[in-house]
C-alpha cells in the first residue's frame, strides 16, 4: 500500500534502509539529515534508483522545531501530506561510566534522543490533527525495556524515556485520528552501534560475540520493518524485530550458525 512517509535521520543506517524499502513499495518518501551535502547525496542516490519524483529531502536538526515544521512543509508541498512519520534520528555515546563522559556528549545524546523525539512528535501530531489522520512512529533502543548495562547510563535513559513518551502520547491522542506506534529494530549493524566502542579493546571483542548472535544487517531487517509499518492500522502497534523468542533461539543455535557481521569493520 503506497503511503507518504517521512523518516528523520534517513541519510544513512536504518533510516536509509527504510527509505529504500518504502520506495520499493511505491511509497513517496521524505528523508532528513543534518547537512545539505548528506541530504543531497542521499536524495540523488535514492532518486536515481526509484524515481526523482518519489523522494524529497530536508536539512533538519531535530532539536529545532522550525526545521521540523520545514520537513512537514517539504513533504506536503511535494506529496500533498504525510501518512507516516518515523522518528528514527538518534545518537549514541561512547560506552564508559557517566562521570567519564563529557558534558557536551551527554547533552547531545539527550537533546537528540529525547528533546528531538518530543519536538518531532509535537510537530507531527499537530499537523496530523489538522490533516485529519496520520501515524507517528518512535524508535526504541537499548534500555527501552528497562535493561541496564555498564557504560549505558545516558543512552539507555533516553530510550527508556521513549517508552514512557509513547504511552503518554497514546493517552493524549486517544480521541483523535492520530495513531501512535513504536518501532523496535533490534541490534542492527550501523555506524551508531560500532561507534560506541574502541575497536581495539577487549570490551569490543566481547560485545562482538553477542552482536554476531543477536545482530543483523540493515538490509535484512528493514524490508520486514517496512512491510509491518505499512500493514499497521491501529494506535499502540509495536513492531519488534528481535523478540525474546528469536533471541533465545539464536543463542541455542549459535554454535551451528557462525556469523561475522563485522568483517569489513575489523578489516578497515
Q: Where are the domains of the chain?
A: 4-191+216-243
Q: Locate all alpha helices (DSSP H) within 31-100, ordered by sequence.
A: 36-50, 65-79
Distances (CA, A) of 9 to 19, 57, 91, 163, 253: 10, 10, 10, 19, 34
Beta-sheet strands, E only, within 104-227: 134-139, 178-184
- The residues near 86 (Cβ < 8 Å, ≥ 6 apart) are 5, 6, 7, 8, 15, 18, 137, 139, 183, 229
Q: Tell me: the pLDDT tens digits for 153-187?
A: 999 999 999 999 999 999 999 999 999 999 999 98
Q: Tell me: the pLDDT tens digits for 109-162?
A: 999 999 999 999 999 999 999 999 999 999 999 999 999 989 999 999 999 999
Q: If we measure between CA atoms, which residue out of 32, 170, 24, 173 comes closest to residue 90? A: 32
**Mean pLDDT value across the chain:** 92
- Of the candidates 49, 50, 155, 197, the residue annotated as catalytic is 155
Q: Which three cell numbers stand for residue 122?
A: 509535537
- The residues near 150 (Cβ < 8 Å, ≥ 6 apart) are 95, 97
Calculate what percentage of the chain has a pLDDT beyond 90.
76
The answer to whether 4 and 53 are in contact (CB under 8 A) is no
Give yes or no for residue 267 having a pLDDT over 80: no
* Helices vs strands, H then E, count in the chain: 11, 7
Q: Is 164 a catalytic residue?
A: no
Pick the CATH number of 4-191+216-243 from 3.40.50.720, 3.40.630.30, 1.10.530.10, 3.30.1360.120: 3.40.50.720
Supply the pTM of this predicted model: 0.91
Give the number of other Cβ atoms within 10 Å of residue 12's Cβ. Answer: 17
Q: Tell me: the pLDDT tens digits for 188-244?
A: 887 666 666 666 677 767 767 777 777 888 999 999 999 999 999 999 999 999 888
What is the C-alpha to C-alpha distance for residues 16 and 140, in angstroms, rounded to an integer?
17
Amino acid at each position: 500500500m503506497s503511503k507518504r512517509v517521512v523518516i528523520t535521520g534517513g541519510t544513512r543506517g536504518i533510516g536509509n534502509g527504510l527509505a529504500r524499502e518504502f520506495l520499493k513499495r511505491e511509497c513517496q518518501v521524505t528523508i532528513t539529515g543534518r547537512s545539505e551535502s548528506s541530504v543531497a547525496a542521499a536524495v540523488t542516490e535514492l532518486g536515481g534508483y526509484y524515481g526523482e519524483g518519489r523522494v524529497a529531502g530536508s536539512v533538519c536538526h531535530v532539536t529545532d522545531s522550525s526545521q521540523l515544521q520545514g520537513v512537514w512543509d517539504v513533504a506536503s508541498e511535494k506529496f500533498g501530506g504525510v501518512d507516516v512519520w518515523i522518528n528514527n534520528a538518534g545518537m549514541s555515546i561512547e560506552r564508559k561510566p557517566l562521570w567519564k563522559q563529557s558534558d557536551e556528549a551527554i547533552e547531545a545524546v539527550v537533546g537528540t534522543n529525547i528533546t528531538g523525539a518530543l519536538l518531532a512528535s509535537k510537530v507531527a501530531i499537530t499537523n496530523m490533527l489538522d490533516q485529519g489522520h496520520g501515524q507517528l512512529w518512535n524508535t526504541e533502543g537499548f534500555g527501552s525495556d528497562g535493561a541496564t548495562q555498564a557504560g549505558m547510563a545516558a543512552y539507555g535513559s533516553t530510550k527508556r524515556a521513549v517508552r514512557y513518551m509513547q504511552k503518554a502520547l497514546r493517552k493524549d491522542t486517544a480521541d483523535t485520528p492520530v495513531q501512535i506506534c513504536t518501532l523496535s529494530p533490534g541490534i542492527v549493524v550501523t555506524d551508531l552501534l560500532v561507534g560506541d566502542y574502541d575497536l581495539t579493546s577487549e570490551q569490543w571483542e566481547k560485545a562482538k560475540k553477542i552482536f554476531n548472535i543477536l545482530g543483523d544487517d540493515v538490509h535484512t531487517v528493514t524490508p520486514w520493518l517496512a512491510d509491518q509499518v505499512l500493514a499497521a492500522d491501529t494506535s499502540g502497534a509495536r513492531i519488534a524485530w528481535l523478540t525474546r523468542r528469536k533471541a533465545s533461539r539464536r543463542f541455542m543455535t549459535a554454535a551451528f550458525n557462525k556469523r561475522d557481521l563485522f568483517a569489513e569493520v575489523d578489516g578497515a
